Each structure stands twice: as structure tokens, then as C-alpha cells.
Amino acid sequence: MRIFLLLSLIILTIFLVFKKVFYSAKRNLFKDQAEWFSKDIKIKYSKSKENSTSDKHDNYLKIIADESKFYLEEQSNQD
């Protein structure tokens, strides 16, 4: 009977400790993810002709590079 009681206490203690460790690890892992989900990412689209000098059939990376270049130039002019 003493062995059964001792084993029960040990198993219960291990269960509670692992539950607390698991909860803490889960909370820390998803903490950064929750911060990102709460933020709104706003993308400004410019309707000027300078913005899209690439044709429809160009490479998508070229289009993104052109957009980024125009955006950075616009930002540096504002400063």
C-alpha cells in the first residue's frame, strides 16, 4: 500500500511538472506569432506610370525590384 501511494505521488508530481513545462513552452513559442498576427501590414500602391515600367511578360522578381527601387527613392526624397 505504501508503494502504491508513493508511486501515485511520484506520477502525479511528474504529470504536474510536465504539464506546467509544456504550457510554458507552448506560450513562449506562440507569443511572437500572436504579435505578428495582431499587426496590420499596409502596402501603398502608387498609380504613377514610373512605378510599373515592366511589361506583363517580365519576370516577377524584376517587377518587385522595380517597385522596391521606386519606393525606396520615394522614401529617400521624403527625408
CB environment 65-78: b (16+ within 10 A), e (fewer)? ebbeebeeeeeeee
According to the model, what pLDDT value does residue 9 have?
95
Kindly state the greatest CA–CA separation across the chain: 85
Query: What does the pLDDT look like over 53-73, one tens digit per residue?
Result: 545 556 788 888 888 888 888
- Mean pLDDT, rounded, for 24-50: 66
- Mean pLDDT, rounded, for 9-23: 93
